[in-house]
Amino acid sequence: MAGKRIDAERADAERTAQARGETPDQVLDRNVNEVLQEIRVAITAVQVLFAFLLTLPFQSRFADLGTFGTTVYAITMTSTALATVVLIAPVSFHRMLFRRRQKAAIVQFADRCLMVGLTLLLTAVVSAVLLVLDVVLGRWPAVAVCTAISLVGLVTWYLLPLRRREEPPS
């Protein structure tokens, strides 16, 4: 199954190469650079959030969070840690396949990791905001704001791009 997907990635690279006047290798090189640049943007957000979360339990008021707060903290910390691992995974994958002529596999793997990592990042961001706003505003206003953030994230990160993807190229 994975072999078929990698073959499809190569076929896509060949079609794109023809349309753009590039070689398939140039397309794959460009795709690797683009996806790694996208990962750099996402990982920066994860690093800032992760740093904040690592210090939180050492604050004096952390013990006052209660069950809801500590549960939300655990979800936030876990999703942030997983986002970190998943978003860094393409770097390791690339390094392990370096000079093995596996660019199509690297592009495909990095693409999948980026999609999963963004989902985990959205979960982490929403959970972190819920944790903070629960203390600042109270439970229901925090849930309302986080619902709005979730919707904006889902629409801008997934629904609009998927909708555009279904339209014929202009």
Q: Which of 31, 32, 14 is nearest to 23 (CA)?
A: 14
pLDDT bucket at 3, cuts 50 / 70 / 90: low
The reported pLDDT for the residue numbered 9 is 65
**Mean pLDDT over residues 11-27, rounded?**
75
Q: How confident is the model at residue 63 (pLDDT cuts 50, 70, 90)?
A: confident
Q: What is the mean pLDDT of residues 79-99?
A: 90
Q: Please, are residues 53 and 128 in contact by the beta-carbon 8 Å criterion?
A: yes
Residue with the bigger pLDDT between 13 and 157: it is 157
Output the pLDDT for position 30: 84
Helix, strand or coil for residue 1?
A: coil
Average pLDDT over residues 33-47: 88
Long-range contacts of 154-157 (CB under 8 A, 24+ apart): 154/122, 157/118, 157/122
State the Cα–Cα distance between residues 137 and 120, nearest whole angstrom.
Answer: 25
Smallest CA-to-CA distance from 32 within 109, 117, 116, 118 is with 109
Helix, strand, or coil (residue 21): coil
Single-letter code of the amino acid located at 26? Q
Give yes or no for a contact between 168 and 152, defined as CB atoms under 8 angstroms apart.
no
Q: Provide the pLDDT confidence category of residue 2 given band limits of 50, 70 and 90.
A: low
Residue 88 pLDDT more than 90? yes
Does the pLDDT value for residue 123 go beyond 90? yes
What is the predicted pLDDT for the residue at 104? 83
Given a cut of 70, is residue 162 above it in pLDDT?
Answer: yes
Find out whether 62 and 18 touch, Cβ atoms under 8 Å: no
Domain parsing of the chain, residue ranges: 2-127
* pLDDT given at position 137: 95
Q: How far apart are CA 86 and CA 45, in angstroms?
A: 14
Which residues, in sequence order, are CB contacts of 65 under 8 Å at separation 6+?
A: 73, 135
User: Which has more confidence, 135 or 36?
Assistant: 135
